[in-house]
Structure 1
Amino acid sequence: MQIVPRVKPDHGTITFFLASGANRQMCQLATTFNTQKQAFSYLQKHRTEFERIARARLASGELEDGIVVLSML
């Protein structure tokens, strides 16, 4: 799997896609950072953990409006 980032304009929230073959699942990571750059850096640093958590939530059906919602570790 790979994470494909998509930056949104709301401060420390990062939207990214969890890719598995041809399937893409939208995920959002809420952080306490003030900038997108800081939040994205945090996502990259903890990428493996967030992939694992996102896959587990997707498998268990823990979605909010079709989106896997994550927060800081």
Structure 2
Amino acid sequence: MSEEQWRITVDRTACLGSGMCVGVAPSHFSLVDGLSSPRREHAPPDTAVVEAAESCPVEAILVTSAESGATIAPE
């Protein structure tokens, strides 16, 4: 990967299915069987992904650097 990529994961055991992430970042999240699911495991940096992770009421979304594994969101 030459350009920076983020890894987006959702803890579906913690997810409440509020849909906040889909409302904030519909190009990155969808609801599958009533729970959040990332549309792609890796994505280019996007502030909408950070906003989605920060808006999750149970912090079920984790955004990390695909290269280093460093946590990007939630803070």
User: The TM-score by the shorter chain falls in which range?
Assistant: under 0.3
Under a length normalisation based on structure 2, what TM-score does the superposition of the two structures give?
A: 0.26
